[in-house]
Chains A and B, each alone.
Chain A
Amino acid sequence: MTIIVTFVVLTVLGSYWWLWTHRVTEKPWLVEGIPEDHSKAREPYQASRTGLIIFLAVVTSLFSLFASAYFIRMQLDDWTPLAEPSLLWVNTGMLVLGSIVIQWASYCSGKEQLRNTQHALLATGFFTGCFIFGQLWVWQELVNNGFYIRSGPAVAFFYVITGLHMLHMFGGLWVWCRTTLNLWSGTELLEMKQSIQLCRTYWHYLLLVWMALFGLLLST
């Protein structure tokens, strides 16, 4: 449980630090009036961004728990490591490319270059689709080689972890789909800018999660 405990402790300490910066040591019964920094309005984007960050913390908790369970289960006698198919490297490359082009889409939307943004978003969808297709291909390859989900704990973990990661990619693709369709159907780029930025954050995050999971699978 070291991984999840470490994550939670860091999150808790981060929250305490945030509270510290928000005057949690103040004696509220001694202070009246409206502090100056409370009269500034924030953009709605900040709520979405905060919501996304909290959601990513929840997802991190989920994958940390799987990683913890993986290590605990690995220590038992029946564990036989799985030789990861080399196609995973190609898939990882696709996800990296997806992340790069969505960064490009975000950059172009900032510069208000509609055409480039549209193309970059399409490229993001293409590379992400390739990643998912590749992951499914890996599953097929494992099945062809006789590695079914009940063949052993390492194989079962592989299917579950990669499946969950793909499920989160699908969630991202749903938002990507809405954003891209809106952009192609004539919605102002300025309106979609926030959505593109949130997608970018999500893509980078899922790339990081995949890197961590891939590292975990390769190292065991």
Chain B
Amino acid sequence: MAQVALADSGQPLSHPRSFFTKYIWSQDHKVIAIQYGLTAISVGIVALVLSGMMRLQLGFPDTFSFIDPSEYLQFVTMHGMIMVIYLLTALFLGGFGNYLIPLMVGARDMVFPYLNMLSYWIYLLSVIILMTSFFVADGSTGAGWTLYPPQAISYGTPGSDFGIVLMLISLAVFIVAFTMGGLNYVTTVLQARTHGMTMMRLPLTVWGILTATVLGLLAFPALLVSAIMMTFDRLLGTSFFMPAMMSMGEQTDHDGGSPVLFQHLFWFFGHPEVYIVALPAFGIVSDLLSVHARKNIFGYRMMVWAIIGIGGLSFIVWAHHMYVSGMNPYFGFFFATTTLIIAVPTAIKVYNWVLTLWRGNIHFTVPMLFAIGFIFTFTHGGLTGIFLGNVVVDLPLSDTYFVVAHFHMVMGVSPILVVFGAIYHWFPKITGRMFNDTLGKLHFWGTFLGTYSIYLPMHYLGFLGVPRRYFAYEGIDFIPESALQLNSGITVAALFVAAVQLIFLVNMIWSVFKGKKADPNPWNATTLEWLTPQTPPEHGNWGPELPRVYRWAYAYSVPGAEKDFITQIEPPREDDTLGHPENERAT
């Protein structure tokens, strides 16, 4: 059963000649990855600006006349949706997935390059549709990123005329794009691994992206079903989700629909979505820690099993987002239990990251700083997730800033730290140049300390009962003046973090053109992407011969070895036992 397909199928790659086919209408996975990455980061900057506007209002109410309550809700909604779907999902899978999978498995390209190219352009179309909603008559939707009916499509909610329709269409288009890309990522890993690249020799980055893609392929249809049915409710007057209700003093045409049905469908997508973002981050951070601590990842097998275990479990925890929806209490018990169970493989991963660092030869490079920062923020966000996984704790905290703090730590800051770490780590391979180390470190400390200054106080606001989603808090008796002052402080921290990102942008742009020429393998890593004949790799990646893989991806500091790393393509020596007396030879 266990055999592997080879990327060298005899089909010649068509090498593009014109600028247009090389850089725009390109089928090269690396160009597509960069297209995905740049688009996702651009739209992410829009979402960052929106969050800045929200914070301006919360920190300094009645100061900025250009932010009214409707716009505030629109900013909240668009910020959330862009960050989760159009930035993080697209960047981890479309960006890093595209760039790294063929290189790490030793393939020349994705197995369906044309489909891969279409995937990007359709993704871009979804982004354009979404951005268009800022400019339609009633503006973008302000329904909250979860788009709950009935308010999402009821008159009175910002953007209920066109904004919500554009959002739903954009999501549907995004899902089509994701499916095209996802089919490529999974099929390439399953069918195009090079000689000797067994599943258990895959770097954890590939495991994370592979599992996340499978989750996406199975879970995104739930969002598509929700989007189709809600579009029908909005445009054709069906009542899938819309109950009988009064709106603007009049009975609406809808009757009998179930808003809770939408919640089930949405969260059946929504919870796996957390792991669609988290699993690639888990994989990447494992590789960064191992490379920069010059030590093999602790418990590789357990890390793989944890990734696929989390992937499976992520489909049976969705209703922990719905404790306050009035569902049957026995469901709450079931979903609280599964939620706590999923913490076990997640905790295993955290322990293994820490144990990888233990007695490692830690190099405090910029990627390593971001990776270590991730361990802090993810542990922090994960622990508050255990709080919220329990029904009795969740009920009072559900509508407060505690939840905002939790999901931003676990799903905002943590993956973004990994994104930055990964960009710094693979920047030399992608561009052929090194980034400025000092600016990178400044960027890390500003981001890490700044985001903590934002989200740590938010937990306290949550305990005070400060409700989320509100435009203003003045005149609410139980909210003390100190909480309002804290809000101002959080806003200052948020603006600081936003400003720090300029350092990153300047560093990247400057380094692309003026950075020091990079070595092909500047971190002395073992995995295939660092072993291409050219840096940056050319179309086809490998020259005339595909690499042959002789060992796993984590041969660092092997006792008795000449160097502190042995690449995956280095043939075994006769006397080589890798320090393990029970070492075997496959051939």
Contact = CB atoms under 8 A, between A and B. Distances in A.
A26 B200 contact: yes
Contacts of B201: 28
Nearest to A51: B187
Dominant secondary structure of chain A at its interface with chain B: helix
A8 B315 contact: yes
B212 to A, nearest CB: 13
B83 interface: no
Contact of A51 (B112, B239, B255, B548): B112
The bracket for how many chain A residues form the interface is 35 or more
Interface stretch (B159-167, B256-264, B346-354): B256-264
B11 to A, nearest CB: 6
B308 A58 contact: no
A38 B222 CA distance: 37
Interface string A61-94: 1100110010011001111000000000000000
A123 B503 CA distance: 64
Given A35-B587, A42-B6, A62-B221, A156 B238 contact: yes
A84 B375 CA distance: 57
A21 B2 CA distance: 6
Which residue of B200, B201, B304, B316 has the most chain A CB atoms within 10 A of its CB atom?
A: B200
A51 B182 CA distance: 10
Given A58-B179, A69-B261, A150 B9 contact: no
Interface in B215-239: 217-219, 221-222, 224-225, 228-229, 232, 236-239
B240 A22 contact: no
A181 to B, nearest CB: 18
A50 B240 CA distance: 35
Which of A38, A43, A66, A78 counts the most B-chain CB atoms under 10 A from its CB?
A: A38
Interface residues of B, number: 79
Contacts of A25: 301
Nearest to B549: A34
A11 B582 contact: no
B582 A30 contact: yes
Contacts of A4: 222, 268
Contact of B187 (A9, A30, A37, A54): A54
A29 B311 contact: no
B240 A156 contact: yes
Nearest to A75: B258
Contacts of A35: 2, 196, 198, 586-587
Contacts of B191: 42, 46-47, 50
7 contacts: A26-B200, A34-B548, A50-B191, A61-B219, A65-B221, A149-B236, A156-B232
Interface of A: 1, 4-5, 8-9, 11-12, 15-16, 19, 21-44, 46-47, 50-51, 54-55, 57-58, 61-62, 65-66, 69, 72-73, 76-79, 149-150, 153, 156, 160, 164
Given A28-B200, A28-B552, A156-B232, 15 more contacts: A15-B308, A19-B308, A21-B2, A23-B198, A33-B587, A34-B548, A35-B586, A38-B3, A57-B217, A57-B218, A72-B264, A78-B239, A149-B232, A153-B257, A160-B229
